[in-house]
């Protein structure tokens, strides 16, 4: 709680205030015409205050203030500070930066279908922009369910791997890379995909509807549901390819929609009477915000957080669905920054009102899409793996990843772990741990090379699919040690990466500088999850071996008990305490033990082990 004397001493000037918790972390940033009046309002005993405000007041231990010359300056400073610090109690606004497109590389002998946010003059076919990422991913899901288009980046047919990747084994590709699908057959499939992406979905819709009805009639409801999802994706493709023309000049039209604590905002960009594009944004933490407050925050953060390039692109008019706080102030700031009049207007009728309703409809569709895809209709794992492929510049989508780690106790009990992830999730049936056979001591590099070689050699011997990506815990040293192993085994198509824990860097072969991924990026979190799982699995195995060695060393102190008899006792009774509980008669029944030797063992353990605590009745 903030000292009331501190609240009374706050300035009455306009400015920005920053609430901090006991550890100095910024909880909330706001602006005020009068700092003293606004900040003190958070601590009044008003039963009508929302949960978020009450919780903020409870956690706040201090408040910093920055006095500025006017409300307009406060508005600009607030926007910049929120963008920099992203406090947890402020509305969280996330945008898509650029519009995503679906790209078909038609000039390649075996074209690929992929997502991009950059249009290049490379002869490829681009479809979009898809203004909502969810529907665009749905469109790709349709393509993947209906066609076995390749996801790798090999320059076929000249550059090709020696064997098919995991996509072939799970039925998502017919392996044209190794000649299992002809170029003519593949090209025919691509021609169908192009027609679908162009919006010509009528024939395909009829075919899918027939399949759905047949599956439902045969009580194959899961299959019918998959066909239903395909139909929804086809409708998205057809709808998002339309281009609208409207009357008027240069305008931005804003719309919002909400669902509980989350919501969406849409900006329609009209230039010279043509609707050029739609930007989408996600909200969270908005359960206690009114529609007017949400829209006002959206407009302020959208325009004031875009930098000078965004200011230069400002239209002459911004249309809103309802009146918002500080609209006049925002209009003043934008007009001054643009060097011309920027009008903020709430139309009540006519064509402009229709545009505002169109923006709100788009936002509503976006919220509905989010709710629909929340149950797993959208393959988020695929999206994450495609992002990982882009970040590490891999030739194939890394659906099968194996991560290795080494653990030892001062050069003894050296063990390795290999944890496997398929489609972004652990596949524990493929986990392996192994004792390192070489006498390398604490040389992690040679131990890592041995572990990777043994794992991959076994996969080759069994004819099992190889991982698309091998990740090793470490840096350049581990990377350099493992790279010759891939050449030795003839599996150069397997990609290799080293994960350095200290600065969260990713080292790749042939690159002098590491790849740095933002710490909040889901791709880095996936790699960290891999590394942590490998570390956990290795350490647990090392501890198990170390525990057995300690027990055996205790038994080794007994005259006549060598390694073979130690193993026999531990196999039969599990622990020293278990041997003692069994008693001399049971120990004597173990092969290789006489009655005299059994009494010697139990007498030694009774004297050396601490007594067990009494158990409460």
Percent of the chain topping pLDDT 70: 83
Flag whether 598 is in a domain. yes
The count of structural domains within the chain is 5
Flag whether 96 is in a domain. no
Higher pLDDT, 276 or 72: 72
What's the confidence (pLDDT) of residue 242? 42
Flag whether 354 is in a domain. yes
Work out the mean pLDDT of the chain and round it to a whole number: 81
Whether residue 324 is found in the same domain as residue 458:
no
Whether residue 525 is found in the same domain as residue 400:
yes
Which of 240, 273, 289 is a domain's end point? 240
Residue 245 pLDDT greater than 50, yes or no:
no
Q: What is the CATH number of the domain that holds 32?
A: 3.40.1440.10
Residue 309 pLDDT greater than 50, yes or no:
no
pLDDT band, residue 122 (cuts 50/70/90):
confident
- Name the strand (E) or helix (H) holding 66: strand 62-67
Whether residue 430 is found in the same domain as residue 538:
yes
CB 82 within 8 Å of CB 297: no
Flag whether 34 is in a domain. yes
Whether residue 178 is found in the same domain as residue 76:
no
Whether residue 205 is found in the same domain as residue 288:
no
Query: Quick count: other Cβ atoms within 10 Å of Cβ 109?
Result: 13
What's the confidence (pLDDT) of residue 200? 67
Least-confidence region, from 8-12, 128-132, 138-142, 440-444? 128-132
What's the confidence (pLDDT) of residue 551? 55
Higher pLDDT, 270 or 199: 270
Q: What range defines the domain where residue 333 resides?
A: 251-373
Whether residue 367 is found in the same domain as residue 274:
yes
Flag whether 308 is in a domain. yes
Rounded Cα distance, 399 and 237, in Å? 26
Q: What is the CATH number of the domain that holds 603?
A: 1.10.150.20
Flag whether 95 is in a domain. no
Whether residue 293 is found in the same domain as residue 234:
no
Flag whether 379 is in a domain. no
Which of 64, 90, 116 is a domain's end point? 90
Rounded Cα distance, 227 and 224, in Å? 5
pLDDT band, residue 248 (cuts 50/70/90):
low
157, two tokens: 């047919």
> C-alpha distances in angstroms, 478 versus 210, 448, 455, 472, 531?
55, 7, 16, 7, 14
Whether residue 22 is found in the same domain as residue 141:
no
Which of 495, 511, 545 is a domain's end point? 545
Whether residue 265 is found in the same domain as residue 388:
no
Q: What is the CATH number of the domain that holds 538?
A: 3.30.420.340
Flag whether 532 is in a domain. yes
Whether residue 195 is found in the same domain as residue 106:
yes
CB 90 within 8 Å of CB 280: no
Whether residue 510 is found in the same domain as residue 582:
no
Q: Which residues contact 284 (CB under 8 A, 6 or more apart)?
A: 91, 92, 261, 262
Whether residue 192 is found in the same domain as residue 51:
no
Residue 366 pLDDT greater than 80, yes or no:
no
């Amino acid at each position: 709680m903030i000292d009331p004397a501190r609240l009374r001493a706050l300035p009455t000037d306009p400015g920005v205030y920053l609430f901090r918790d006991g550890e100095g972390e910024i909880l909330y940033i706001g602006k005020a015409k009068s700092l003293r009046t606004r900040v003190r309002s958070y601590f009044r005993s008003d039963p009508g205050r929302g949960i978020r405000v009450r919780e903020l007041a409870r956690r706040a231990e201090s408040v910093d203030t920055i006095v500025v010359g006017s409300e307009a300056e406060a508005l600009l400073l607030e926007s910049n500070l929120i963008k920099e610090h992203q406090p947890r109690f402020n509305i969280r606004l996330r945008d898509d930066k650029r519009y995503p497109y679906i790209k078909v590389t038609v000039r390649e002998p075996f074209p690929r279908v992929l997502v991009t946010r950059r249009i290049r003059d490379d002869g490829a076919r681009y479809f979009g922009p898809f203004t909502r990422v969810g529907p665009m991913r749905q469109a790709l899901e349709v393509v993947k369910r209906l066609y076995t288009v390749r996801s790798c980046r090999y320059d076929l047919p000249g550059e090709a791997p020696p064997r098919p990747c995991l996509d072939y084994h799970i039925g998502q590709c017919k392996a044209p890379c190794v000649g299992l699908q002809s170029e003519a057959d593949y090209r025919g499939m691509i021609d169908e995909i192009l027609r679908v992406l162009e919006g010509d979905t009528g024939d395909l819709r009829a075919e899918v509807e027939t399949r759905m009805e047949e599956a439902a009639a045969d009580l194959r409801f899961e299959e019918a549901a998959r066909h239903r999802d395909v139909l929804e994706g086809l409708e998205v493709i057809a709808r998002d390819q339309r281009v609208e023309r409207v009357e008027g000049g240069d305008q931005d039209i804003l719309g919002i929609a909400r669902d509980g604590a989350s919501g969406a905002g849409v900006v329609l960009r009209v230039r010279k009477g043509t609707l050029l594009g739609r930007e989408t944004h996600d909200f969270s933490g908005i359960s206690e915000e009114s529609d007017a407050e949400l829209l006002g925050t959206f407009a302020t953060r959208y325009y004031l957080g875009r930098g000078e390039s965004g200011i230069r692109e400002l239209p002459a008019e911004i249309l809103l669905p309802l009146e918002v706080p500080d609209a006049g102030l925002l209009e003043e700031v934008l007009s001054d920054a643009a060097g011309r009049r920027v009008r903020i207007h709430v139309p009540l009728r006519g064509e402009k009102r229709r545009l505002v309703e169109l923006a709100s409809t788009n936002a509503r569709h976006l919220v509905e899409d989010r709710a629909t895809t929340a149950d797993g209709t959208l393959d988020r794992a695929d999206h994450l793996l495609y992002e990982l492929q882009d970040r590490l510049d891999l030739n194939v989508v890394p659906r099968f990843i194996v991560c290795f780690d080494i653990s030892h106790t001062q050069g003894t009990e050296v063990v390795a772990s290999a944890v496997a992830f398929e489609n972004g999730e652990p596949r524990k049936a493929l986990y392996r741990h192994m004792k390192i056979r070489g006498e390398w001591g604490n040389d992690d590099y040679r131990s890592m090379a041995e572990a990777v070689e043994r794992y991959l050699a076994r996969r080759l011997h069994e004819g099992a699919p190889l991982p698309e990506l091998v990740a090793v815990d470490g840096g350049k040293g581990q990377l350099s040690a493992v790279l010759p192993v891939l050449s030795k085994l003839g599996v150069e198509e397997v990609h290799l990466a080293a994960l350095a824990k200290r600065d969260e860097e990713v080292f790749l072969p042939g690159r002098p500088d590491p790849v740095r991924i933002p710490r909040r990026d889901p791709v880095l979190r996936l790699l960290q999850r891999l590394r942590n799982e490998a570390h956990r699995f290795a350490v647990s195995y090392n501890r198990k071996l170390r525990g057995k060695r300690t027990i055996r060393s205790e038994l080794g102190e007994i005259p006549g008990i060598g390694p073979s008899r130690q193993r026999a006792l531990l196999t039969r009774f599990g622990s020293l305490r278990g041997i003692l509980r069994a008693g001399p008669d049971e120990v004597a029944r173990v092969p290789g033990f006489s009655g005299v030797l059994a009494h010697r063992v139990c007498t030694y353990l009774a004297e050396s082990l601490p007594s067990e605590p009494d158990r409460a009745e």
